Structure 1
Amino acid sequence: MNKVVAFLFGLVCFSSQSFAATVPKPYVPDEPVVVVKSKPVVKPAVKPVAKPVVKKVAAVKKTVKKTVKKTTKKPVSVAKAGKVKPLSATKTTKPATKLALNSTQRLNKYSRTQKKVKSRQLAKNAGHKSASISSRAHAPVKSSLAANTPPARVNTIPMTSGSPFLDSNAALIMNANTGRMVYGKNAARRTPIASITKLMTAMVVLDAKLSMDQPITITNADVDRVKRSSSRLEIGTTLSRYDTMWLALMSSENRAAHSLARTYPGGKGAFIAAMNRKARALGMRNTVFYDSTGLNKNNTSTAADLALMVQAAYRYPQIRQLSTSTEHDIISASGRQLHYQNSNALVREGAWDIELSKTGYIKEAGRCLVMVADVQNKPMVMVFLNAGAPSGRINDARNLKSWLERQPVKQLG
């Protein structure tokens, strides 16, 4: 009897193991399917796995569970059609909507972000910055306009690719009639202007409509005690106001310029006040005058402001005539005949068509030069400040004139 029971028990066990071995295993992928938003992935059709009719045997359930755990790292569920999806109940499982970025991709993304931020910051800063010599456009000005007409304000300086190297620390080129700026270098930098001051001195004298034939005698008060510069104009020499202004403009005679301020109605103080009022009226916001000669280093301005002053002086026929004359003779107090020449070598040479000129020099200002010269039949204001070498301002003028002659005419305004 015992042998029969043992035989039957062994037969049942053998049948169960054989049946479990024939149960088909469900399809389980190696990794969860990744879905990319930009390129939807079409999931391949999977043949449905037929449900086997399985008896509820504890051994079969254990075998299936062990197989699933070994083949997958994340828990999955088997859908009716055999598709696999992450379990929604698992909180730690994130939706697989984006691929992880490697280090190169992260670096590229960071670089793109930084470029965008920097571009926005630069645009913001550019919006807050205000050019000190911008938005200065008035109606076009002709040289035939009245002397007291405000000059055209200069416009923003355009790009000047290919322009020559200059010895001057500041420079500016502008059309005298239209105010169009063609070239600029440190045009807003404030610097002493030396005897360029004398252009303003001449304008204030002419604006006062004083008699140009009135005699002016050089006195000890006109001697330079600031720079202790020499002068051939002897004390006691008497000249007409016209001749005195002639020497001040043509050969930058300091005693002559000082005597023009001294003999002004109200004296030197009233004259200096009139100079600064004139500067404000011309829009010279970065300019101040302390004397009529330019020997005072506190007479300061910018190339942009001086372009306005030259443009205004260009309207005075007397200033154009006297500042561009090549020579002039006077009789000194001792009876000697003194021969004066223009301080601008370009005027003396006579090769240029120069309609206005003024030079200047003190140690603090360097070599300075302002002119109105005809280039391609257009009157061009030229301002050169703080050149180092004695010939620096002249060479700068020649180089820039050659450069202007190569530009299209429309670029010169």
Structure 2
Amino acid sequence: MKKRIEGQGSRVKGGREIFLFILVVFLFTIHYSLSTVYADDISAMAAVVIDSASEKILYAKNPNLKQPPASTTKLITAMVALDRLNPDSIITISENAANTPSVSPHLRKGERFSVRDLLYLALMRSVNSAAVALAEATAGSEDAFVSMMNDKASHLGAKNTRFMNASGLPGPDQYITAFDLAIIMKKSLGYPLIREVVNTRAKEIFSESGRRIFIKNTNQLLWTDEENIGGKTGYTKAARHCFVCAAKRGQNTLIVAVLGESARDNLWEDSTVLLSKGYDVLNQKAEPMIFFSSEDERPVVFASYKADKKHKHKKSIAKRHKYKAKKVAHASHKKNSHAKIDKKKTKKSSGKELSVRRHESTDKS
């Protein structure tokens, strides 16, 4: 009888072990599937949301993947120009500036505008001629101005960024990362005039000869999100649709950057999703996450959301505070693997948890 009871106990124990094993596998499968879905929430090639105060990543996808900057470039153009020009100074549009390919309104050779109005044209409507005119007035030539732009970007901490012109038009070996773009957006808001311009929905400006020009901001979130502080859009065939913006969420300011989006309307959807996820992290309703779509991708910075003592070196903090990130490795790493994205379909991808430490990217765009 004793042996029989012991045998039954062994079977019960064995059954429990099998049940627990199946339960663990089941829970892991659910967790893994959810991770894959989350990675597909953002259809852009690269995106990030950071806390403006700490510059820490709250949620991201390929935050240091180098992509063409398109007209988000004009944020740096505006900062460099304001570092050296009086906003009320008058600039004459050169033949070179007038002939620069651009969206309307087209500026004419010999027309005269204030620096202030050219900034409205460049940042609100993304007029390339206005950006080139600012560059020439600042440095004498656009080429000389580009050197100032790259120095400025480096000084601001945008280490994985390189500009080739003042407008964001396609150029060889010109790139930016979503994280760098978010940092540039944060720094640009330190300029009161830039902050005013990017937060303006519509504006009427005049040339010195009296030509009236009405422009409307390309940032659609200004009409749908009352807490949106402002932003900058961009588009070229190579860069696809790009966007960076800042928004208040409670007591915090969040900054979102989106690069390489296939459809313009998706910019607003992606940005809204990122702002929501960032706010959840700050309110401890979710953990900070970074997703990667290739084995070569690595995060730009560590992220820690515990109370850290001030003035401690980042490396020492990184050793003590790590967070789990989901690594999503797609089957193909070719440049055009994301050219067509269907948001309605859930992509299959594989991933694993890893600890994220700070180190610089060596990826090429």
TM-score per shorter chain, which class? 0.5 to 0.7
**Does the CA contact (< 8 Å) of 1:196 and 1:369 recur in 2?**
yes
Query: Which residue does 1:45 correspond to in 2?
Result: none
**Structure 1 residues 225-240: aligned runs within 5 Å:** 225=100, 228-235=101-108, 236-240=110-114
1:252 counterpart residue number: 126
Two-structure CA RMSD over aligned residues (Å)? 2.3
User: Paired residue for 1:180?
Assistant: 56
Matched, 1:325 2:187: no
Counterpart amino acid of residue 169 in structure 1: M
Aligned pairs (5 A) from 1:33-44:
none
Deviation, 1:335, is 4.5
Alpha-carbon offset, residue 223 of structure 1: 3.3
CA distance in 2, matches of 1:321, 1:296: 28
Question: Per the alignment, do residues 166 and 224 of structure 1 end up closer, same or farther by CA in structure 2, a change over 3 Å counting?
Answer: farther
Query: What does 1:1-400 align with in structure 2 at a 5 Å threshold?
Result: 162=38, 165-208=41-84, 210-225=85-100, 228-235=101-108, 236-298=110-172, 299-332=174-207, 335-347=210-222, 349-400=223-274
Deviation at 1:178, TM superposition (A): 1.1
Q: C-alpha distance in 2, partners of 1:220/1:255?
A: 10
TM-score, with length taken from structure 1: 0.57
CA distance in 2, matches of 1:196, 1:230: 15
Which 5+ residue runs of structure 2 have no aligned equivalent? 1-34, 289-304, 306-365
Flag the 1:234–1:367 CA change in 2: closer, same or farther, 3 A. Answer: same
Question: Does the C-alpha gap of structure 1 residues 240 and 335 become closer, same or farther in structure 2, counting only changes over 3 Å?
Answer: closer
Does the CA-based 8 Å contact 2:235-2:242 persist in structure 1?
A: yes
Contact 1:194–1:362 (Cα < 8 Å) also in 2: yes
What per-residue deviation string (whole Å, max 9, x for no partner) do you get for residues 26-68 of structure 1?
xxxxxxxxxxxxxxxxxxxxxxxxxxxxxxxxxxxxxxxxxxx
Report the Cα distance in structure 2 between the residues aligned to 1:320 and 1:330, rounded to whole angstroms: 18
Change (3 A) 1:224 1:192: farther
Aligned to 1:72: none
3-state SS of paired residue (1:197): helix
Cα pair 1:234 1:332 within 8 Å, conserved: no
Contact 2:59–2:277, Cα closer than 8 Å, also in 1: no
Give 1:286 shift: 1.5
Measure the CA separation in 1 of the matches of 2:168 and 2:139: 21
Amino acid paired to 1:186: N
Deviation for aligned residue 1:379: 0.4
Q: 1:58 is matched with which residue? A: none
Give 3-state SS (helix, strand or coil) of 1:179's partner.
coil
Counterpart in the other structure of 2:318: none
Task: For residue 138 of structure 2, give the secondary structure of its aligned residue in structure 1.
Answer: coil
Alpha-carbon distance between aligned partners in 1 of 2:268 and 2:179, rounded to the nearest angstrom: 19
Structure 2 distance, partners of 1:241, 1:369, is 24
- Equivalent residues, number: 251
User: Is the CA contact (8 Å cut-off) linking 1:324 and 1:356 kept in structure 2?
Assistant: yes
Q: Shift of the alpha carbon at 1:202?
A: 0.8
How far does residue 380 in structure 1 lie from its aligned partner after superposition?
A: 0.4
CA change 1:176–1:385 in 2 (3 A) is same
User: Does the Cα contact within 8 Å between 1:167 and 1:393 map onto a contact in 2?
Assistant: no
Q: Which amino acid aligns with 2:76?
A: M
2:104 alignment partner AA = S
Task: Give SS of 1:301's match.
Answer: coil
Max Rg structure: 1
Q: Summarize the Cα distance change of 1:287–1:404 in structure 2 as closer, same or farther, 3 Å threshold.
A: closer
1:283: how far off? Answer: 2.3
The alpha carbon displacement at 1:369 in A equals 0.3
Please say if residues 375 and 404 of structure 1, whose CA atoms lie closer than 8 Å, have aligned partners that are also in contact. no
Residue identity over aligned pairs, in percent, reads 33
Assess if the C-alpha contact under 8 Å between 2:52 and 2:186 holds in 1: yes
Relative contact order, higher structure (CA 8 A, sep 6+): 2
